[in-house]
C-alpha cells in the first residue's frame, strides 16, 4: 500500500525498539554527543519503579528490542534491576556504553540479570586522541572493559564515531578492533545534530578523507569477511538523497528520555510547536498511537513540494524532520540533503565552510553541564546564532542541580 493510501492511525504498527535514555549524567564530554544541547534542563530522572512501568507498557505494545543508553547508563546503580525486569518481560536487552563504571562485579551481575548484548564505544585508537575527544582519561579503562566483555562471553561489538579529527586513523582503529577480537565494528560518521552540529565546522571530514576511509574499510572487509563484520555509515552531507530517518517518524523507534519525555527520535524536543508528552502523565500506548506529536509526520499529509509529488518519497519519507528544521527553520521542508530541495545549497556551503583552515583555530565545544547551561543562557540573552538556537527547546531552563555526575 502506498503512503498516501494509508489511513492515519489505523495502520500504525507497534514500536519494535524501545530506546531508554536512562540518565543524561555522563563522565565523558564527547564533542559529537547526540544528547540535546540543553540536556542540563533535565533533573528528576525516572525512578526504578517508573522505568519498570515504561518497560511493561512497551512490551505490552509489542516492543521486542530494548536499548539502554544515556548519558552513561552504568551510572544508574539500579541498572541491574532494570535489566532483570526487561529480560523477564522478554526484551532482547542491549547496553550502549562508554564502559566507564563497568567492573568485573557489575558485568557478572548484569549477565546474571540477563543482559544480552553490550556495545562499547571508543573515540580513537590512541590514548591521546581518545582522551582528548572525550575530555577524560578513559582509554585504558575502555580496553579493560573490552577484556571483560570477552571474558563474560558477550559478542565483542565496538563503535567508533568518525569525524575529521580521527578518520585518518581508521586503519589503526580497525587494527585495534581486530586485536581485541571484535566481531562487529560500527564506524559511524558523525551525524550533525546537537553537540555535533555545534562543532560541525571542526568535525565534518573532507571527501578525500571519506574516500580513503571507505577504501581501507573495504580492504579489512575483504580480508576478514564474517570474522569481523564492518559497518561504515556515511555522513549524509555527501549524499544527494536523504536518509529515511529513524526508519520513519513514529514507525519503529520510541525513545524515552531520562525525565520521561517520549520522542520519535533523540532530538525531536527542539522542533517548534509540538508538545511531546511524558510517561509521567500519559501511557506509552496513548503517546504512540494518539498523541499529536507522534502523528505529526506520519503519512504524507504534512509534506510540501518537492516531496509531495516526488516519485521517490516512499524511499526516504522526505528525510529527517530535525535536519530540515535545523537547516531551513521549517520542519515540514524537504531535508536539504536531497538535491531536489531548494535549500540543498546549505549542505554544499557547509562542506565548503568546514574545509577552511581557520576552523582549526576555533575552540571545539565539549558536552558539559556547564556549557549546556551557558548555551541556554546565551539563547535567552539573544546571543546565540540562529542555527545553534534551533538546537534547543524554546523554553528550556537550566536545572539548578549542581553536579549531575556520580551514582544515584
Q: What is the dihedral of CA 211, 216, 222, 228, to 10 degrees?
A: -120
Pairing of strands 229-233, 253-256: unpaired
CB of 52 to ligand FES, least distance (A): 27
Q: In residues, how long is the chain?
A: 408
Tell me the three cell numbers of residue 77.
546503580
Q: Which residues bind ligand FES (CB under 6 A)?
A: 193, 245-246, 265, 267-268, 320-322
Q: Decide whether 51 or 193 has the Cβ nearer to ligand FES.
A: 193
**351 contact partners, CB below 8 Å, separation of at least 6:** 204, 207, 237, 238
Q: Decide whether 80 or 393 has the Cβ nearer to ligand FES.
A: 393
Alpha-carbon span 289 to 284, nearest angstrom: 9
Q: Decide whether 221 or 244 has the Cβ nearer to ligand FES.
A: 244
CB of 296 to ligand FES, least distance (A): 10
Q: Decide whether 25 or 243 has the Cβ nearer to ligand FES.
A: 243
Q: Decide whether 90 or 292 has the Cβ nearer to ligand FES.
A: 292
CB of 35 to ligand FES, least distance (A): 13
CB 68 within 8 A of CB 93: yes
CB of 265 to ligand FES, least distance (A): 3
Alpha-carbon span 249 to 295, nearest angstrom: 8
Tell me the three cell numbers of residue 70.
544515556
The neighbour count for residue 367, using CB atoms within 10 Å, is 27
CB of 199 to ligand FES, least distance (A): 17
CB of 312 to ligand FES, least distance (A): 18
**296 contact partners, CB below 8 Å, separation of at least 6:** 249, 274, 302
CB of 333 to ligand FES, least distance (A): 13
Closest alpha carbon to 255 in 196, 315, 322: 322
Q: Decide whether 118 or 322 has the Cβ nearer to ligand FES.
A: 322
Q: Decide whether 122 or 192 has the Cβ nearer to ligand FES.
A: 192
CB 44 within 8 A of CB 259: yes
Alpha-carbon span 279 to 346, nearest angstrom: 37
CB of 318 to ligand FES, least distance (A): 10
Q: Decide whether 145 or 391 has the Cβ nearer to ligand FES.
A: 391
Pairing of strands 17-21, 92-97: unpaired
Alpha-carbon span 92 to 94, nearest angstrom: 7
What element of type H or E holds 121? Answer: strand 117-122
Amino acid at each position: 500500500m502506498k503512503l498516501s493510501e494509508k489511513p492515519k492511525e489505523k495502520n500504525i504498527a507497534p514500536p519494535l525498539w524501545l530506546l531508554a535514555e536512562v540518565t543524561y549524567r555522563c563522565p565523558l564530554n564527547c564533542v559529537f554527543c547526540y544528547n540535546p544541547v540543553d540536556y542540563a534542563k533535565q533533573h528528576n530522572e525516572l525512578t526504578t519503579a517508573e522505568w519498570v512501568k515504561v518497560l511493561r507498557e512497551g512490551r505490552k505494545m509489542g516492543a521486542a528490542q530494548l536499548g539502554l543508553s544515556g548519558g552513561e547508563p552504568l551510572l544508574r546503580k539500579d541498572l541491574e534491576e532494570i535489566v532483570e525486569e526487561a529480560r523477564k518481560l522478554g526484551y532482547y536487552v542491549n547496553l550502549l556504553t562508554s564502559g566507564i563504571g563497568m567492573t568485573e562485579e557489575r558485568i557478572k551481575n548484569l549477565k546474571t540479570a540477563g543482559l544480552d548484548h553490550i556495545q562499547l564505544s571508543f573515540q580513537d585508537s590512541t590514548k591521546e586522541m581518545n582522551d582528548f575527544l572525550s575530555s577524560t582519561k578513559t582509554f585504558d579503562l575502555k580496553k579493560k572493559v573490552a577484556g571483560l566483555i570477552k571474558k563474560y562471553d558477550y559478542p565483542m561489538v565496538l563503535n567508533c564515531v568518525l569525524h575529521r579529527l580521527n578518520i585518518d586513523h581508521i586503519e589503526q582503529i580497525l587494527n585495534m578492533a581486530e586485536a581485541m577480537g571484535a566481531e562487529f565494528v560500527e564506524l559511524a560518521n558523525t551525524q550533525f545534530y546537537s553537540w555535533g552540529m555545534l562543532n560541525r565546522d571542526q568535525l565534518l571530514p573532507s571527501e578525500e578523507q571519506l574516500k580513503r576511509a571507505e577504501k581501507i574499510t573495504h580492504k579489512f572487509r575483504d580480508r576478514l569477511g564474517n570474522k569481523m563484520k564492518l559497518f561504515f555509515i556515511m555522513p549524509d552531507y555527501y549524499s544527494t538523497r536523504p536518509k529515511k530517518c529513524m526508519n520513519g517518524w513514529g514507525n519503529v523507534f520510541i525513545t524515552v528520555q531520562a525525565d520521561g519525555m517520549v520522542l520519535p527520535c533523540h532530538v525531536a524536543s527542539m522542533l517548534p510547536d509540538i508538545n511531546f508528552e511524558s510517561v509521567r502523565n500519559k501511557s506509552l500506548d496513548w503517546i504512540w498511537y494518539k498523541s499529536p506529536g507522534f502523528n505529526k509526520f506520519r503519512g504524507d499529509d504534512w509534506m510540501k513540494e518537492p516531496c509531495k509529488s516526488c516519485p521517490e518519497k516512499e524511499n526516504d519519507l522526505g528525510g529527517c524532520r530535525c535536519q530540515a528544521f535545523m537547516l531551513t527553520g521549517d520542519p515540514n521542508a524537504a531535508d536539504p540533503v536531497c538535491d531536489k530541495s531548494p535549500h540543498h545549497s546549505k549542505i554544499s556551503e557547509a562542506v565548503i565552510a568546514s574545509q577552511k583552515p581557520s576552523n582549526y583555530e576555533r575552540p571545539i565545544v565539549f558536552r558539559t553541564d556547564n556549557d549546556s547551561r551557558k548555551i541556554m543562557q546565551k539563547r535567552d540573552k539573544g546571543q546565540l546564532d540562529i542555527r545553534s538556537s534551533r538546537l534547543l527547546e524554546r523554553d528550556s531552563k537550566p536545572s539548578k542541580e549542581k553536579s549531575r555526575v556520580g551514582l544515584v
